[in-house]
Amino acid sequence: MATKEILSSAEALLGVAADATTTPAGMETVMMPVGVPGYTLRQESRTVPATEPPVLPVNADLQYIGKSPQRWDAQAKVSGSGRYTADIQLPGMLYAKFVNASIPHAKIISIDTSAAEKVPGVKGVYVIERVLGPAVLRNPGLEVSRYPIVRYAGQPIAAVAATLPHIAEEAALLVKVQYDPKPFVVDMDQARQPDSAQVFPGPADQAGSAGGGGGPHGVPQTGNVHGPSVHSKGDFEQGFKDADVVVESRYTTQVQTHSALETHGVVADWKPDLLTVWASTQGTASVREELAGFFKLPKSQVRVITEFVGGGFGAKFGPGNPGVVAVALSKQTGAPVRLMLNREEEHLSVGNRPSSDQTLKIGAKKDGTITAIQLISYGTAGCGTGAGCAGPAANLYTWGALNTQENDVFINAGPASAFRAPGHPQGVFALEQTIDELAEKLNMEPLELRDKLTRIPCVASSDRLLVRAPSGSPATPGRMRTQDRSSVAWACRNRSGTAIS
Amino acid sequence: MSGPKYPSEFSKLGKQADLHDQNSPGSASSQDSAIPPSAENKTHKGITRRGFLKGAGVTAAGTALLEGVQVFNREAVAATREERQTGVQEFGPGPMPVTLHVNGHEQTIQIEPRTTLADALRVYMGLTGTKVVCDRGSCSGCTVLLDKTPVNSCMLLAMDAVGHRVTTIEGLTKNGEMHAMQAAFIKHDAMQCGFCTPGMVLACSALLEKTPKPTEEDVRQAISGNLCRCGTYPRIFAATLEAAGVSSLDPTRSA
């Protein structure tokens, strides 16, 4: 060990490893600092391209790193000059408004747009042919309908473009939609019952977005229950038999909406040789690719601009229905079209974090070693999927055997979308409280147990938690006194939401 | 308390914008600030957004809305006839010239009386620094100053702002010089996505006008209605206190 360190120091001084004979052509082997200063900083030998820029100098010699530079667009933000998508105003621009489903489940018989078209100032009406978001039937032949099936109240059906916002709003109210209503279910527990109304007539799947989310394809579906999606490693039943202590609890979390301050929306300007789209998005590339695919344009003819975005939190990756409809209306009218959702639409139709109802069981030896983890979860992502939340149970701590069974439950509500670590807040909510209960049963300190179980040994959980210590205690590096650490963990636990055991 | 009063010739009001100086400062909300009567000394009760929408809502509850619009016209005419006797004047529903005093300038726009101040500023005057977030008075994203008072411009009819000095975020920068509050927001990086920032800056600048040496509690109170989804509040407290020359921040609360 000591010899190695001396050698490392010598190599560090030379800047190049002594033995360079194994280095491929065009590459060089150098020593470089790796890790976190004050914790894990060390010199390591790395083989890098010879053209690689030199290792960064220390912060004091750098212009930005380690400094507090001014946010580059700060002045635009405090002066109101920054143009968000909602602020884009183009010559001749039209304002569009969605016509949304007024009932949660129906087949649309007819859509009469004639009255809306006659309103002075209305320049275009577009009826949606393919609605984006809801899961899609594996066998589309199970439903025959001229228009997309309405699966939730607030689902966009058509849109009107007019010279002023309030004209579009009024005209949208004049679009007459004739529905053939179907039974609906909006409560997850009810939707799990065998006699519940069915959201889909057969198995259906939903893809994720560039931001994640979505659910597994091809899993079994019974009624509204899409799943289970099972992951199993080792013999979990034997694991629970081998355990000295077993804790099992049920946890529920609610649906959350992203509530970005700027709603979803785009301004689309269709020109024969170039489609320009200002989008409130986190992914200009994914908006471009999806629009190019939808309208069968080469990607080089689609330009997506996002200078500022008023929050997204994972829900703003593709163009979505607002993007597609605004482009279609711009193509139809020959004018730029702005389609920004209002706050109600934002909550109903452009994504949410699914709910969860988790039963988590953990078995452990007296010394804290986990012999088995089993998680059975149900959650609703509305008429989409993506309610799985087994990530933390599988990935955070070491275990002997694992069995997770994730289920999506369809209800007649808007589909979910990626939301800041899809599935993880729900999963961690259950897992961390169960670990606390396990520690209590084992008569161990909760953080001590986590230190033992963590998969990231170089950053002990005690260090991670220290940073989140309640106000009053300075967040200095180092280990807290035993008593303090215990109180932090229990304080965190008491702040949590609903726990059903 | 009586409602706001308008002279009979509404469109002339803007030209009398300086009249507001006779009002006591800080009483600028549409409910309690009376505009002095016109030369003819004829005053009329104004229509509130709520009252107007209530009327429109009753109509929309009818069968087809196209017919509803006509019904509304008939109702409006009838109401005018009825209200002539009570001294109340109806406006609209068609566009009419309205002169607003915004950021030190007067501008006349053709708007329907139901147009909110937020829409008048953003859609008709191109002042998009004012952000509409909830459009129902719950988030203060659309804050502007009416004289010196922060108001939700989504909940105020543009015509209710006639006779008042409206200051938007664009008007806070004077002669190319940033307001001290804007500079402090930049220094403390008191923003992330920036969508709540204009409303926050205006609310905090209004606080300092009223309370030059605020406590952190005062700042919290002043922006208690302003929602931020990125979590910039602690930096906003720090920025505001620094702009006020107060540095008694609770260190355990700062970012």
pLDDT digits (tens, 9 = 90+) for A23-50: 888 899 988 888 777 777 888 898 889 8
**How far apart, in whole angstroms, are the C-alpha atoms of residue A461 and residue A447?**
7
B60 shares contact with chain A (CB less than 8 Å) = yes
A78 interaction partners in chain B (CB closer than 8 Å): 169, 178, 182, 185-186, 191, 197-198, 201
**How far apart, in whole angstroms, are the C-alpha atoms of residue A497 and residue A494?**
8
Strand A401-409 and strand A370-379: the pairing is parallel
Mean of the pLDDT values across residues A413-435? 96
pLDDT score of B84: 57
In 3D space, the residue among B19, B4, B20, B29 whose CA is nearest the CA of residue B149 turns out to be B29
- What is the H or E stretch that residue B108 is in? strand B105-111
Tell me if B189 and A170 make a contact (CB, 8 A cut-off): no
CB atoms within 10 A of CB A276: 17
pLDDT band at A67 (very low <50, low <70, confident <90, very high): confident
**How far apart, in whole angstroms, are the C-alpha atoms of residue A498 and residue B140?**
31
Identify the closest residue of chain B to A344 by CA–CA distance: B134
Q: Is the pLDDT of residue B18 over 70?
A: no
Quote the tokens at residue B3: 């409602």
A166 interaction partners in chain B (CB closer than 8 Å): 112, 114-115, 119
Phi, psi values for residue A288, rounded to 5°:
-60, -45
Largest CA distance in chain A: 87
Place of tokens 């619009």: B69
Looking at CA atoms only, how far is residue B154 from chain A in angstroms?
A: 13
Question: Which amino acid makes up residue A336?
Answer: P
A86 interaction partners in chain B (CB closer than 8 Å): 128, 131-132
Q: Kindly give, in sequence order, each residue whose CB lies less than 8 Å from that of residue B212, ignoring residues fewer than 6 positions away.
A: B244
For the question of an ipTM over 0.90, the answer is no
Contact A295, A306 (CB under 8 A): no
- pTM (two decimals): 0.79
Phi, psi values for residue A137, rounded to 5°:
-60, 135
Size of interface A-B (CB pairs under 8 A): 115
B249 shares contact with chain A (CB less than 8 Å) = no
pLDDT score of B53: 44
pLDDT score of B212: 96
Considering CB atoms only, which of A78, A83, A87 is closest to B182? A78
**How far apart, in whole angstroms, are the C-alpha atoms of residue B188 and residue B233?**
11
Phi, psi values for residue B57, rounded to 5°:
-65, -40
Interface test with A, best of B124, B133, B152 (most A CBs within 10 A): B133
**How far apart, in whole angstroms, are the C-alpha atoms of residue B15 and residue A7?**
84
Estimate to the nearest angstrom the gap between the alpha carbon of B234 and the chain centroid.
Answer: 26
Q: Is the pLDDT of residue B116 over 90?
A: yes
Q: What is the pLDDT of residues A378-406, one digit of tens each?
A: 999 999 999 999 999 999 999 999 999 99
Mean of the pLDDT values across residues B245-253? 60
Contact A173, A125 (CB under 8 A): no
Greater model confidence, B162 or A37: B162
pLDDT score of B16: 35
Place of tokens 């229509």: B47
B129 shares contact with chain A (CB less than 8 Å) = yes
Mean of the pLDDT values across residues A212-232? 92
Alpha helices in A63-164 (DSSP H): 74-79, 114-117
A80 interaction partners in chain B (CB closer than 8 Å): 127-130, 168-170, 198
Mean of the pLDDT values across residues B158-177? 95
Tell me if A170 and B65 make a contact (CB, 8 A cut-off): yes
Mean of the pLDDT values across residues B98-123? 97
Q: Is the pLDDT of residue A463 over 50?
A: no
Estimate to the nearest angstrom the gap between the alpha carbon of B120 and the chain centroid.
Answer: 10
A83 interaction partners in chain B (CB closer than 8 Å): 128
A402 strand-pairing partners: A233, A373
Looking at CA atoms only, how far is residue A223 from chain B in angstroms?
A: 37
Place of tokens 């579009």: A168
- What percentage of chain B carries pLDDT values higher than 90? 59
Tell me if B128 and A74 make a contact (CB, 8 A cut-off): no
pLDDT band at B73 (very low <50, low <70, confident <90, very high): very low
B174 shares contact with chain A (CB less than 8 Å) = no
DSSP single-letter state for residue B131: P
Interface residue ranges in chain A relative to chain B, Cβ cutoff 8 Å: 68, 70-71, 73-84, 86-87, 89, 115, 118-119, 164-166, 170, 173-174, 259-262, 308-311, 313, 342-343, 471-472
In 3D space, the residue among B78, B202, B94, B62 whose CA is nearest the CA of residue B143 turns out to be B202
Tell me if B132 and A86 make a contact (CB, 8 A cut-off): yes
Tell me if A471 and B66 make a contact (CB, 8 A cut-off): no
pLDDT score of A59: 77
- What percentage of chain A carries pLDDT values higher than 90? 73
